[in-house]
Amino acid sequence: MRIAMIGTGYVGLVSGACFSDFGHHVTCVDKDTDKIDALRRGVIPIFEPGLDQLVERNVRGERLSFTTDLAPAVAEADAVFIAVGTPSRRGDGHADLSYVFGATREIAAALTKPTVVVTKSTVPVGTGDEVERIIREIAPEATAWVVSNPEFLREGAAIEDFKRPDRIVVGTDDERAAEVMREIYRPLYLNKAPLLFTSRRTAELIKYAANAFLATKITFINEIADLCEAVGAQVQDVSRGIGLDNRIGSKFLHAGPGYGGSCFPKDTLALLKTAEDHQTPLRIVESVVKVNDLRKRAMGRKVIHALGGEVRGKIVALLGLTFKPNTDDMRDAPSLSIVQALQDAGAHVRGYDPEGIEQARPLMPGVTFCDSPYEAARGADAAVLVTEWDVLRALDLKRLRETMAQPILVDLRSVYPPEDVEQAGLRWHGIGRPPRNA
């Protein structure tokens, strides 16, 4: 089939590349001329493991192409996917749908044959209705079916998630549109990936409900971690003990410095705004958002406490800056709040990350960026493990100790057993278990 993917951000580029790998002919469209030129040269604008090879292979196979010219791509397509950004709207937290509606207007003007128009972007309930209304207004004679097909991709594992999904949600009440979507996803049938067909509004809500629930699990275990520190329990054992219950499951029960990234923060806010608009408050989600914001700020205070309550003039090395490993995404990363808290208290901050430094640089003024964790820790009064990159899971702790001015390791991801840290001559501070000197 012929597919037009509108938007070459994270979702659009990964989805377009994977669809082309299924054998479909995909044209990715973006207004950013520099980005399109770079993609044509094989330069990938985001870090996602395996994406560069996937794009190169399908461009070489003439199944994947990039353009700034939307009209011909849409005119030839059997399905047009809208995969543009829906960031939180400045001032009120609602999802900003201006890019979605702008793309819809251009698509409507370019339709020349029966086409399925698919919202892949994460959009609030009822967005598909407005997309359909815009198309009817601009192109009343066109035959177009508007479908919701939310994405469930984890940054750092997006290709695997796309090709071996837990489920594929398709929101449509039209059998002709449903048949096109079945054909698009037919290559996944061998993996027995379930296609869940629902109404369009239901599909839109599934995405937000899923992200809010996962954010709730993260926030829950983070609060339990605080309780563990207070009562002398160990949160990793608590997580394992409750996660072995198959009604609960073990995923998203790893205590840490709070969630960030491109999805959970904006999607929980957008869901709250939708609920508010319909006079159905979501008290649990409200608490999750508030607790997570407080959590990230509290991590800075934890580092200050590990240094005796005073950090003015001291050097703190942050190891890992992105919100999670295997991505260069800095959006709402906990490290941003930690840096702010440390700088406000007068500390000098150094930062290291395998992939995220260029994204972090404009967001962290005053931070000294380093090429290795050991360079960041040289002469530092404390090293803080913020993101559990593989390269940071196997540090030479003795070497780290030898480079530091004070032997303090604050492990916010519970990567290292306290006994191993202390054997290397470092003082351990972490989360989810009582202080070692208690």
What 3-state class would DSSP assign to 303? helix
Catalytic residue among 28, 228, 263, 370: 263
What pLDDT, on the 0 to 100 scale, is given for residue 437?
59
Residue 426 dihedral angles phi and psi, to the nearest 5°: -105, 155
- Across the chain, how many H-helices and E-strands are there? 18, 14
Read off the pLDDT of each residue in 321-339 and give the average, rounded to a whole number.
97
370 is catalytic: no
Q: Across all residues in the chain, what is the average pLDDT?
A: 96
How does pLDDT run across 130-159, given as a tens digit for each residue? 999 999 999 999 999 999 999 999 999 999
Quickly count: other Cβ atoms within 10 Å of residue 186's Cβ: 14
Q: Supply the pTM of this predicted model.
A: 0.93
Quickly count: other Cβ atoms within 10 Å of residue 142's Cβ: 18
Helix axes 200-231, 127-138, angle to 10 degrees: 150
How does pLDDT run across 44-86, given as a tens digit for each residue? 999 999 999 999 999 999 999 999 999 999 999 999 999 999 9
- Residue 438 reports pLDDT greater than 50: no
Domains of the chain from N-terminus onward: 2-198 (3.40.50.720), 200-438 (3.40.50.720)
Quickly count: other Cβ atoms within 10 Å of residue 316's Cβ: 29
Summarize the chain as % helix, strand, coil (round to 5). Answer: 45, 15, 40
Share of the chain above pLDDT 70, in %: 99
Position 330: which residue type? M
Read off the pLDDT of each residue in 298-319 and give the average, rounded to a whole number.
97
Whether the Cβ atoms of residue 102 and residue 96 lie closer than 8 Å to each other: no
What pLDDT, on the 0 to 100 scale, is given for residue 189?
81
Whether the Cβ atoms of residue 15 and residue 38 lie closer than 8 Å to each other: no
- Residue 102 reports pLDDT greater than 70: yes
Whether the Cβ atoms of residue 85 and residue 102 lie closer than 8 Å to each other: no
Distances 328 to 90, 130, 204, 322 between C-alpha atoms, Å: 23, 33, 27, 6
Share of the chain above pLDDT 90, in %: 95
Whether the Cβ atoms of residue 359 and residue 384 lie closer than 8 Å to each other: no
- Residue 360 reports pLDDT greater than 70: yes
Question: Which of these, 66, 140, 154, 138, lies nearest to 103 by C-alpha position?
Answer: 138
Read off the pLDDT of each residue in 283-298 and give the average, rounded to a whole number.
97
Quickly count: other Cβ atoms within 10 Å of residue 111's Cβ: 21
CA dihedral 107, 109, 115, 120 (to 10 degrees): 10
How does pLDDT run across 176-228, given as a tens digit for each residue? 999 999 999 999 987 777 899 999 999 999 999 999 999 999 999 999 999 99
Helix axes 283-306, 200-231, angle to 10 degrees: 40
User: Six-digit token pair at 226?
Assistant: 């605080």
